[in-house]
Amino acid sequence: MKAILPILLVFSAQAFSATPELPSNLQYILGNCNLVINNSEGGNVQAPKGNLCPDSPASKSAADSLNKLARFIEASNPTKLEVAELKPMKFLGDNEPFLVAIVENKSNLPARKVKLELLRPLQANEKNSKIIKVPRSNAFPQKIMQHLQVAQHDSQTIPLAPLSYLIDITRLGLPSDYIYLGAGLTPELPQKLMHSFSSDATHRNLQAEIRPLGLAIQYENIFETSTKSLSGIYFYFARNAKAD
């Protein structure tokens, strides 16, 4: 598709005679738009700024083409974030470790305004999960958290909440002899954690409790389209049945 460029034509009597400079006109041509601009004061003619023919078919056609191109690029390059890992991490300025999410962007375009929220498990009489208000890390000021980005084919470490705080709210109702083993992305107790807790190869005496929380990930792509996805994170507790 060839681009349609405006043509400016300047008509001046001075160009055809040696007489003093006379008033000149400017003609603006773009597609079906053809304007003649009078210059009654004489002198040089300046092309006005802005779109002189906003309703011309050529202008609308160009705008439509750009919109279609943008939609094609967006559809061909969907921006998707995923939590790849959970782990505890200590930051300078915090008194205790935080549970952090390693968020990956395997897309070809960056993600902007990335925001993570923890949600309580949905109760029987609730339509929507409630957001958990958690203490924030001192190492990440609010202004930074409001403008988090994950570049294309890159990852970002994002603090969720103090680890002790999350352990306290997820172990509610458990007997005191249950020990916190770790947090992860699967609803089943990972074999690595199971082996670290129990020396019995069959794990017959192991009693495990897995407590879930929701994790909402919200972000925008470069076209300002907002996306929100929900997933689960899990906290693993266990005890030895022989303790009973």
**Are residues 136 and 53 part of one domain?**
no
**Are residues 121 and 43 part of one domain?**
no
Q: Which range among 47-51, 91-95, 140-144 has the greatest average pLDDT?
A: 91-95
1 lies in some domain = no
pLDDT confidence tier of residue 114, bands split at 50, 70 and 90: very high
**Are residues 67 and 123 part of one domain?**
no
Whether 231 has a pLDDT exceeding 60, the answer reads yes
**Are residues 150 and 72 part of one domain?**
no
The boundaries of the domain holding residue 130 are 81-243
Secondary structure (DSSP) of the chain: ------EEEEEEGGGT-SSPP--EEEEEEETTEEEEEEETT-SPPPPPPS-S-TTSHHHHHHHHHHHHHHHHHHHHS---EEEEEEEEE--TT-SS-EEEEEEEE-SSS-BEEEEEEEEPPPPTT-SSPPBP--PPPTTS-HHHHTT--B-TTEEEEEEEEEHHHHHHHHSTTS-TT-EEEEEESSSS--HHHHHHH---TT-TTEEEEEEEEEEEEEEE-TT--EEEEEEEEEEEEEEEGGG-
**Are residues 133 and 47 part of one domain?**
no
Domain boundary among 76, 101, 119: 76
**Are residues 134 and 89 part of one domain?**
yes
Domain boundary among 30, 61, 76: 76
Whether 104 has a pLDDT exceeding 90, the answer reads yes
**Are residues 35 and 95 part of one domain?**
no
Q: According to the model, what pLDDT value does residue 126 have? A: 81
pLDDT confidence tier of residue 243, bands split at 50, 70 and 90: very low
Q: According to the model, what pLDDT value does residue 12 have? A: 45
Mean pLDDT of 100-122: 94
- The total domain count for the chain is 2
**Are residues 209 and 90 part of one domain?**
yes
**Are residues 57 and 175 part of one domain?**
no
Whether 167 has a pLDDT exceeding 70, the answer reads yes
Q: The pTM is what? A: 0.69
Domain boundary among 22, 50, 76: 76
Mean pLDDT of 48-55: 58
**Are residues 85 and 19 part of one domain?**
no
